[in-house]
Structure 1
Amino acid sequence: MKNILLLVLVLLTLGGCATQRLSDPEKSAVIEKFITTENLEARNTISAFDMDSWTSLSDQYLILRTSPFRSYLVKLTMRCNDLNFSPSLLVYSRIPNTLSAGFDSVFTPDNHMFRCNISRIYPLSKTQNKALIAVVNPKAQDKPIEKSSDDNEDSISKDATGEDG
């Protein structure tokens, strides 16, 4: 009887320590509520755009950073399942140093043929950036980004430190 009681107590303790993960639809719902609550305004274009790093939040949302103080929540037009597992990201931009919703896209190095078009871009403050990551994906880490101006031209790749690779 003591062993069973001890086993139940240990299982309850371990169950309390386990963190629950949100599914991608749940993450998207939390992000959309965050957008509404924080009154984030979508921008069509970001000029002087020079990527530093990125963080995947779900299969439809990610954060792109240009510096520790400037970050953008990006919504993709469709789900891109490989973003959560890719170590790096390519950004296709029609106009150099500019990111435009509806025209530009992101994709992973492993899957050049499948581009994820950018639907909306929301500027985030440093506080909003931290709060959103803490709620949706607290274990998320910044990942390096690679740039591509055109599939037929040489792409410029940079790691997270900004050094040419």
Structure 2
Amino acid sequence: MKHVVILVTLLLALAGCATHRLPDPERSAIIEKFITTEQLEARNTISAFDLDSWTSLSDQYLIIRTSPFRSYLVKLTMRCSDIDYSPALLVYSRIPNTLSAGFDSVFTPDNHRFKCNISRIYPLSKAQNKSLITAVSPKAEDKPLQSAQEENMNASEPSTSKDL
């Protein structure tokens, strides 16, 4: 019995070391320091773009790509824990092909009633994008992005949704 407890404890310790995943508060602190260090300036709106892919950095930050050379760091108003583990993302935008801080939101297909409002949008260069992902989550992968446009703000379901 003693050997089993030691073995289980050892396996749990090794599994914890193997993940190399920083806790969300630490990842958010790295991202906020990056914003300050790189002197990123927030934009209110991104217009005339096609959503391509996304990468979750923490439960409050994600990167949305509109092309291989155009990416944006998006800060959410509050924590959205399901975004980090979702295979897909939906974007609610009041105006088609436009993303606006303070008005638009993101959510997951599994939890479409809980929308995470976008607080800030920061344009990133290709080098900044790569540097930020390496600093926060080196094993992060792009995920497909889904888009949802809703004409009626009070509607509970998106009126259209497309997989990209």
| TM category, shorter | 0.7 to 0.9
* 1:32 aligned residue: 32
Deviations 1:103-126 (A, max 9, x none): 000000000110000000000000
* 2:67 aligned residue: 67
Deviation at 1:35?
A: 0.2
User: Is 1:118–2:123 an aligned residue pair?
Assistant: no
| Correspondent of 1:158 among 155, 159, 163 | 163
* 1:163 aligned residue: none
SS of alignment partner, residue 110 of structure 1: helix
Find the aligned partners of 2:163 and 2:22 in 1 and give their Cα distance.
31
The structure whose Rg is larger is 1
What is the alpha-carbon root mean square deviation over aligned residues?
1.7
Residue identity over aligned pairs, in percent, reads 76
How many positions carry a matched residue from both structures? 145
Equivalent residue letter for 1:36: T
Deviation at 1:67?
A: 0.2
Deviation at 1:145?
A: 1.0
Deviation at 1:95?
A: 0.5
Find the aligned partners of 1:144 and 1:113 in 2 and give their Cα distance.
20
Gaps of 5+ in 1: 1-13, 160-165
Structure-2-length-normalised TM-score: 0.84
Equivalent residue letter for 1:37: T
